[in-house]
């Protein structure tokens, strides 16, 4: 490993703990695709992953590898924690609205569905064709391990929003209720994100929301914002590194609905890891990520 420029790792459950320090002591950069370096707080890690983190210093150092929000830090980082698939899909959707500084009341509710490839290639009964086809099921209701990752990032972004809006005092952490489902298809996530408006703020129009999203992602090569009325579908992003996003306000209930879609194996995993590598090494950011993958 001493001669590597970059190490991609899919090991999880702390399996990198025994050797990561040594790897990072050389010149290699490390892109980790597991959840082991995504959370900043060691206690939160232990609570959600059930093991004690052996390198809390690395948790602090690791850069959260979501290029649209942390590109500058990724460029300088030597340890990049590649975000989870659900997390990428939902943070890219919610962050611009939350950062815009008008009031979103905690909790944020996220109802998402993934194709069965999210469970990997493990030969388990629940992933058989006869279990998956013509079926839908929810799982890990409220206790999926991507929950604290979403909360950490949305809270950080809300702080940004408060500063922009010159709101004083510390922000309350944003709580998230995340309910994932598995659907009868191979690849792709469709997330429906529900942001309840604080009643003291005026209700935005769909055009307002579109402008906020469009402005934030104007120069992003892998985010496509839909005009009011249009909605992302899974098939639009399959085999691509895109995240497609549409937002809509429901004034009747004071709720913003944001629908987003990604390919969980590309923008939700390997594609984003390549995008991070491209940034870290000064390559063209889209290199290897165009066309149908």
* Catalytic residue numbers, as ranges: 85
Cis peptide before 107 (omega within 30 of 0): yes
Tell me the window of 10-18, 72-80, 90-98, 171-179 that interacts with a second copy (CB under 8 A).
171-179
Tell me the C-alpha distance between 117 and 221, whole Å: 25
Comparing CB distances to a second copy, the nearer of 8 and 194 is 194
- The answer to the question of residue 291 lying near a second copy (CB under 8 A) is yes
253 binds a second copy (CB under 8 A): yes
CB of 64 to a second copy, least distance (A): 22
Rounded Cα distance between 133 and 253, Å, is: 35
Contact region with a second copy (CB under 8 A), list: 50-58, 65-73, 94-102, 188-196? 188-196
Element (H, E) at 19: none
CB-count burial class (<10 Å; 0-12, 13-18, 19+) for 57: exposed
Of the pair 56, 239, the CB lying nearest a second copy is at 239
Name which of residues 82 to 111 contact a second copy (CB under 8 A): 106-107, 109, 111
172 binds a second copy (CB under 8 A): no
For 157, residues 6+ apart whose C-beta sits below 8 A from its C-beta are: 69, 91, 95, 98, 99
CA distances from 112 to 75, 183, 237 (A): 31, 10, 15
Q: Pick from 21, 141, 165, 287: which binds a second copy (CB under 8 A)? A: 141
Task: Compute the least distance from the CB of residue 57 to a second copy, in Å.
Answer: 28
Structure tokens at 44: 């939160």
Identify the residue whose tokens are 């306000």.
249
* Contact status: 3 vs a second copy (CB under 8 A): no
Nearer to a second copy, 76 or 134 (CB): 134
Max Cα distance, the chain (Å):
60
- Candidates 54-62, 187-195, 210-218, 274-282 — which segment interacts with a second copy by CB under 8 A? 187-195
Contact yes or no for 185/115 (Cβ under 8 A): yes
Instruction: Tell me how far, at minimum, the Cβ of 94 lies from a second copy, in Å.
Output: 15
Q: What gap in Å lies between CA 267 and CA 65, rounded to an integer?
A: 11
Q: What six digits make up the tokens of 2?
A: 């001493």
| Cβ distance to a second copy smaller for residue 15 or 250 | 250
Distances 12 to 16, 37, 38, 130 between C-alpha atoms, Å? 7, 10, 12, 29
Q: Which of 9, 117, 262, 276 binds a second copy (CB under 8 A)?
A: 117
Which x/- pattern over 217-246 shows residues binding a second copy (rule: CB under 8 A)? --------------xxxxx--xx-------
DSSP H or E run through 216: helix 206-216
> Which residues in this chain contact a second copy in the complex, by CB under 8 A?
106-107, 109, 111, 113, 115-117, 121, 123-125, 127-139, 141-142, 175-177, 179, 181, 183-188, 190, 192, 194, 231-235, 238-239, 248, 250, 252-255, 257, 259, 291-293
């Amino acid at each position: 490993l001493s001669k590597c420029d970059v190490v991609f790792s899919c090991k999880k459950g702390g399996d990198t703990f025994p050797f990561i320090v040594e790897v990072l002591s050389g010149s290699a950069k490390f892109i980790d695709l597991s959840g082991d370096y995504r959370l900043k707080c060691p206690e939160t890690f232990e609570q959600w992953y059930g093991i004690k983190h052996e390198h809390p210093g690395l948790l602090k150092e690791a850069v959260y590898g979501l290029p649209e929000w942390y590109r500058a830090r990724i460029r300088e980082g030597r340890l990049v924690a590649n975000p989870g698939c659900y997390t990428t899909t939902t943070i890219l959707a919610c962050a611009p609205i939350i950062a815009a500084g008008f009031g979103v009341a905690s909790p944020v509710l996220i109802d998402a569905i993934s194709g069965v490839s999210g469970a990997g290639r493990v030969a388990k009964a629940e992933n058989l064709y006869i279990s998956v086809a013509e079926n839908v099921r929810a799982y890990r209701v409220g206790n999926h391990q991507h929950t604290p990752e979403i909360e950490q990032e949305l809270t950080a972004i809300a702080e940004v929003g408060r500063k922009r809006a010159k709101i004083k005092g510390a922000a309350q952490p944003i709580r998230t209720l995340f309910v994932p489902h598995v659907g009868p298809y191979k690849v792709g996530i469709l997330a429906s994100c529900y942001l309840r408006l604080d009643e003291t703020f005026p209700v935005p129009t769909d055009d307002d929301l579109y402008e906020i999203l469009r402005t934030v992602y104007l120069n992003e090569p892998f985010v496509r914002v839909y005009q009011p009325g249009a909605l992302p579908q899974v098939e639009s992003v399959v085999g691509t590194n895109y995240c497609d996003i549409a937002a809509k306000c429901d004034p009747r209930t004071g709720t913003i609905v944001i629908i987003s879609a990604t390919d969980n194996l590309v923008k939700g995993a390997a594609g984003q890891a390549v995008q991070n590598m491209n940034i870290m090494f000064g390559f063209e950011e889209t290199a290897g990520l165009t066309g149908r993958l």
